[in-house]
Amino acid sequence: MATAVSSVADTCAQAKRAARALAQIETGVKDAALEAIAAALEDRMHEILAANEQDMMAAREADIGDALLDRLRLDDTRILAIARAVRQIVALADPVGEVIDGRRLPNGLDIRKVRVPLGVVAVVYEARPNVTIDAAALCLKAGNAIVLRGSSSAAHSNAVLARIAAEAAVAAGLPEGCVSLVAGGPRRPGRGREELAELATQQGSVDLIIPRGGEGLKQALQAVATVPVIYAASGNCHVYVDASADLDQALAIVINAKTQRPGVCNAAETLLVHEHVAAAFLPRVLQAFAAVRVAVRADRRTRAIAADCASSDLIIEDATDEDWASEYLAPVIAVGVVDSGEEAIAHIARYGSGHSEAIVTRDTAAARAFQLGVDAACVYVNASTRFTDGGEFGMGAEIGNSTQKLHARGPIALRELCTFKYLIEGDGHVRH
């Protein structure tokens, strides 16, 4: 497996050679390689856990916070879930060779639009070691070579996971260089920015970069990238409780969206409540937040209601403009009262990141207006934003969620890791 000991350029060049071979490999060989990766994860679990504990110890010493620690942590259950996700990808249809469109032209030429691999996909990600395997499995199934660049905080975990995946894949018949790791961690401390810039400018070798992380990573890539980028961007997600909402349902959805796993991009960061149900709903939800130690950043009308009826355990502060725009990735939520659905949509348009937005309502017209008016990759009616996930959508694992509008939007899974080509067949045709 290529690592950071090789130059970034050499690693990417080897991946390019592997990609040419991968594009021609049959589905059965790719699936066998993925099954081998899943089995290797289970067989070498002790090795993975030992590496992850090194990262966890360093992270605790650095006091990175509970949310980031949760992202970083691996255990038996999570490793088995990663292996299971690989097997779910095996069970999915191979997108390569899928005919998107086809017809015979009036001149007799037969034309088909066929899905093909992108080539070399580089995935840059922060402290989520599971992404190492999720991304590798998806790219290999879609016929792509992958170059991984994880964060230094997960350097030991990523190195072991990438090595296991590469060794299993090559032993099962995939080409050398199909899975590579570029990492600035213990091997080359202080090289992170430099390696990122090198990777982002490998135009001759890398066909696409997908960063999975916060705004800092996005900005760092925007400053240097000459390779095409799909941003798996941040999620400032909202839940809007409409005037006609079932309030029991609304409470369950809001609590799930905020607390089920607060450190992920599809967790809710803002709750908006229609003024007609604010007096009935806010006391219930604020008390629920207090019970699970979720801090609240509130507007004036929310604070007025909280003053009369909220639990003494509630942590509540004034909301600033920055709060409405924040992706907390922590047990913190901004809460505001709005006069109408139109005001909720306008608020989301101003502060949202285009990731996932939800309305709770029993009014079909209000639901339809929200679906049409909100500009986001995923728009929910009476469901938690936590469902924005390739696995939940039946796509297998995902590399991330795109908030862009070109090529890929929402979960980046198998089909989003392909492009297409036109295949044209004739019988001596010449153009006159």
pLDDT at position 212, please? 84
* Alpha carbon distances (Å) from 279 to 26, 239, 343, 413: 61, 17, 18, 42
Give the closest residue to 250 by CA, choosing from 279, 271, 265: 271
Model confidence at 98, in pLDDT bands (50, 70, 90)?
Answer: very high
For the chain, domain boundaries: 8-232+399-425, 237-387
pLDDT at position 184, please? 52
CB 156 within 8 A of CB 181: no
Query: For the ranges 23-27, 153-157, 216-220, 407-411, which has the lowest average pLDDT?
Result: 216-220
pLDDT at position 187, please? 46
Model confidence at 399, in pLDDT bands (50, 70, 90)?
Answer: confident
Per-residue pLDDT of 406-427, as tens digits, reads 889 999 999 999 999 999 999 9
CB 125 within 8 A of CB 158: no
Per-residue pLDDT of 150-202, as tens digits, reads 989 999 999 999 999 999 999 999 999 999 999 654 445 446 678 899 999 99
* Dist. CA 216–CA 34, nearest whole Å: 33
Strands 418-425, 110-117: pairing is: antiparallel
Q: Which CATH number fits domain 8-232+399-425: 3.40.50.300, 3.40.605.10, 3.20.20.100, 3.30.70.2860?
A: 3.40.605.10
Answer yes or no: CATH 3.30.450.40 is held by domain 237-387. Answer: no
Helices (H), 73-199: 76-91, 130-141, 155-171, 192-199
* Dist. CA 4–CA 195, nearest whole Å: 9
Query: The pTM is what?
Result: 0.85
Q: Which residues contact 307 (CB under 8 A, 6 or more apart)?
A: none
Region 85-97: mean pLDDT is 95
Helix or strand run (H / E) with residue 49? helix 45-62
Buried b (16+ CB within 10 A) or exposed e, 33-42: bbbbbbebbe
pLDDT at position 65, please? 83
Amino acid type, 169: A
pLDDT at position 191, please? 63
Per-residue pLDDT of 249-277, as tens digits, reads 999 999 999 999 998 899 999 999 999 99
